[in-house]
Amino acid sequence: MSEALVSLHNVTLAYRRHPAVHHVSGTLARGSLTAVVGPNGAGKSTLLKGILGQLPAQEGKVMLHLPASCIAYLPQQSALERQFPITVLDAVLLGAWTRRGLLGGIAHGERERALTALGEVGLSGFAARPVGTLSVGQFQRVLFARLMMQDAELILLDEPFNAIDARTTADLLALVHRWHAAGRTVLAVLHDHQQVRAHFPSTLLLARRLIAWGDSAEVLSAAHLQAAQDMIEAWDDHARPCAPELAA
Ligand code: ADP
Ligand code: MG
């Protein structure tokens, strides 16, 4: 049995006590490379927020077997950020601030690390470019470089290849494989099942409840995918909260 990095024990996550993800149990093994898949509204982003502790479990327990500061997170849709009038290098250096805290300042070596990270994502020579001048794919490369500045043990990616061109996707997938080979643990929300089968050994299939979690080829069976679809279609978003509303 491989060592658990994150364990979920009957986890229910809710917004204003309306459950979005129900009774999920399972283990994310240290060093694993896992895709999170499921229909729209399945609770995939919510699950990531639960692991990050951004959303406390309403029921059950999320157990982290690593410090929360060792988790890096790329949220879904960061396009807005591209409007900020900062350079590519400064955007990457923001990752170092996340790691050290703003008051820690940028240490001497961080600039070098940021430039190295830019090289790894294929953006050598882009350091001085304003981020507003980048294509969507190039900006996604910047966000991956920033993520690398955190030197995180666990990396959570929420739809990292959504609306990203094929070339960029291939390059960033290769980067994910290098992280995996270096022993990091990666959990990524993805939609392309073919891509998942080709690149992600493990899959967590979510449809508000856990449908299956394990070997990708087994999890992505026609029967499981149909079960996920049925579950989402049957879900009543206006169901009463789990606990009665407190009197105002
Ligand atoms: P996915 O990422 O799989 O598309 P989400 O985790 O974003 O699904 O959403 C799961 C459910 O939780 C949806 O019904 C969504 O409307 C609801 N939800 C997501 N974020 C919030 C929020 N901030 N407040 C209230 N409900 C939310
Ligand atoms: Mg989402």
Rg of the chain on CA atoms, in Å: 19
pLDDT of residue 106: 64
Q: Tell me, in angstroms, the distance from the centre of ligand 2 to residue 191's CA.
A: 10
Number of H helices and number of E strands within the chain?
Answer: 8, 9
CB 114 less than 6 A from any atom of ligand 1: no
Using CA atoms, how far apart are residues 186 and 205, in angstroms rounded to an integer?
16
Element (H, E) at 186: strand 185-189
Q: Tell me, in angstroms, the distance from the centre of ligand 1 to residue 47's CA.
A: 10
Give the start-to-end residue ranges of the domains of the chain. 1-66+195-243
Using CA atoms, how far apart are residues 83 and 87, in angstroms rounded to an integer?
11
Residue in 12, 46, 51, 233 to alter for ligand 1 test, most ligand atoms within 8 A of Cβ:
46
Tell me the C-alpha to C-alpha distance, in Å, between residue 248 and each of 19, 147, 242, 244.
Answer: 21, 42, 17, 12
Q: Tell me, in angstroms, the distance from the centre of ligand 2 to residue 138's CA.
A: 22
Residue 174 CA, distance from chain mean position: 16
Residues of the chain predicted below pLDDT 70: 1, 78-80, 97-107, 236-248
Q: What is the pLDDT of residues 93-138, one digit of tens each?
A: 987 766 555 555 666 788 999 999 999 999 999 999 999 999 999 9
pLDDT of residue 2: 81
Q: 3-class DSSP state for residue 50?
A: helix
CATH-assigned architecture of domain 1-66+195-243:
3-Layer(aba) Sandwich (3.40)
pLDDT of residue 247: 39
